[in-house]
Structure 1
């Protein structure tokens, strides 16, 4: 990353590399005037994201409107990053798709049945990297 500036935009390749190293993010759904956000654990599969979910509001909302935002981030003592994926989500339905998703070894974090795989195909990915440091002195001109 850029050690000289306090923040900079990431390339797509840098953004995907950060997403591959992380495993939790948030998916944002939008149905009419309702916007929801859900935490999910995920894996990167080539240049898409895959997560598992149970039956419920998240899956229903993705079925009604497949346009989604996905965000993941991370930080250390001296840097932070955020990656946003804009795209479309769809439930995997064919046996070939599900078998391929099973091979990704994506496991739920909580001991609940999550039998539905969802793939997010990106339209656009953006990322930013931030150098963390002390706040500038407000008294300086």
Structure 2
């Protein structure tokens, strides 16, 4: 049985088909990368681009490069809340630094650093697993909130 068969009418949790999850990733550009470093899990925000079935990001020398060099096992998440709906896509995969001609793929993607610091190292995440969920939110406190009057 597929996990998609467990969704019931009126269920506030909707499992996304893998292609829906990929489309969500392609239409966003900011998420969080989780990686291992010296016996601890670290999580950092990154901007990224999708290239086929892998994610790419630019970085500088530092903890991300050291972490993925020592242990290539990573997770990545992108979330969005719009009105009464939230979407979350999580991928798990293997990260590695691209070298030589391979790193020039970045020139063909809409990926540039958001922060004005030099980032010349290209990291690719080969996705082993992708999952996505869309949630119908029930946030009654937002309807009961009394906003301060504007002056």
With the length of structure 1 as denominator, give the TM-score of the two structures: 0.88
Q: Distance in 2 between matches of 1:18 and 1:105?
A: 16
Q: CA deviation at 1:85?
A: 0.4
- Residue of structure 1 equivalent to 2:133: 128
- Residue of structure 2 equivalent to 1:14: 20
Say whether 1:113 aligns with 2:124.
Answer: no
- Residue of structure 2 equivalent to 1:88: 94
Q: For residues 17-32 of structure 1, what are the structure 2 equivalents within 5 Å?
A: 17-32=23-38
Is the partner of 1:112 in helix, strand or coil?
Answer: coil
Q: For residues 72-87 of structure 1, what are the structure 2 equivalents within 5 Å?
A: 72-87=78-93
- Residue of structure 2 equivalent to 1:44: 50
Q: Structure 2: which 5+ residue stretches go unaligned?
A: 1-7, 141-151
RMSD: 1.6
Aligned 8 A contact 2:37 2:66 in 1: no
Q: Structure 1: which 5+ residue stretches go unaligned?
A: 136-141
Q: Distance in 1 between matches of 2:62 and 2:87?
A: 31
Aligned 8 A contact 1:10 1:126 in 2: yes
Q: CA deviation at 1:3?
A: 8.5
With the length of structure 2 as denominator, give the TM-score of the two structures: 0.83
Q: CA deviation at 1:129?
A: 0.5
Q: Distance in 2 between matches of 1:3 and 1:81?
A: 18
Q: Distance in 2 between matches of 1:3 and 1:50?
A: 37
Q: CA deviation at 1:99?
A: 1.6
Larger Rg: 2
Say whether 1:71 aligns with 2:77.
Answer: yes
- Residue of structure 1 equivalent to 2:149: none
Q: Distance in 1 between matches of 2:86 and 2:128?
A: 24
Is the partner of 1:99 in helix, strand or coil?
Answer: helix
Q: CA deviation at 1:8?
A: 1.5
